[in-house]
Structure 1
Amino acid sequence: MNREKTYGIGELARDFDVTTRTIRFYEEAGLLSPAREGQQRVYTDADRVKLKLILRGKRLGFSLSESRDLIEMYDPESGNSRQLNALLSKIQERREQLNEQMREIELMQVELEEAEKRCLDAFDR
């Protein structure tokens, strides 16, 4: 009998360097739905992959709703083309946002340099 590997909440928290509270939050948000053995949560490999995708989405700046939508599109029978296209679109949107933020930061740096120069010039007078 080949039984699927399962994980406890503490094990997942350690593996992904998050708190158990974070994992429970994702569960409450409907992103994870572990089985129960009494009061204990039992996570499968699929739950582990979902958690990995949620955390990756978070690092990329995706909202929980966006991550949920992408995870729900998983359909290996279709080659996941719908999911992949949606992910590509989200990546392009995020990249555009980051590029705009970089332009704004560069402008702020120029303005700070000019303000600093004016302050230093005022000391020299």
Structure 2
Amino acid sequence: KRRFTTRVFLEFLKRLERQAHRPVYLIVDGHPVHHARAVQTWLQQPGRQIHLFFLPGYSPELNPDELLNHDVKSHLGRRRPHTQRELIHNLRSHLHRRQRQPHVVQNFFQEEHVRYAAA
């Protein structure tokens, strides 16, 4: 239930860098947090393994996240929750399942508009 802030994004980047043992190339949209001075300063520090690539404005079709969003909405639409807690549980369960199914996520990158990101 946290808002997406510069601090939250930096925490994510730091956790991602700790878990990755090689360079990470992250495709991001034009959200102001992605362009924040604190984020850019952190990324420019020597030895950083995170590299951001910015999507052009108003081009959600180029954003691989949209394919996962569609997958999630499609799945959740089949299981009507009765409470907010049940909705959150269903969402987390589905995302954890996708973590254990990297082949499904890799297939998202075969879509014509996001194939560039698989290179």
Whichever of the two has the greater Rg, that structure is 1
**Does TM, scored on the shorter chain, surpass 0.5?**
no
TM-score for the superposition, normalised by structure 1: 0.24
* Bigger helix share: 1
TM-score for the superposition, normalised by structure 2: 0.24
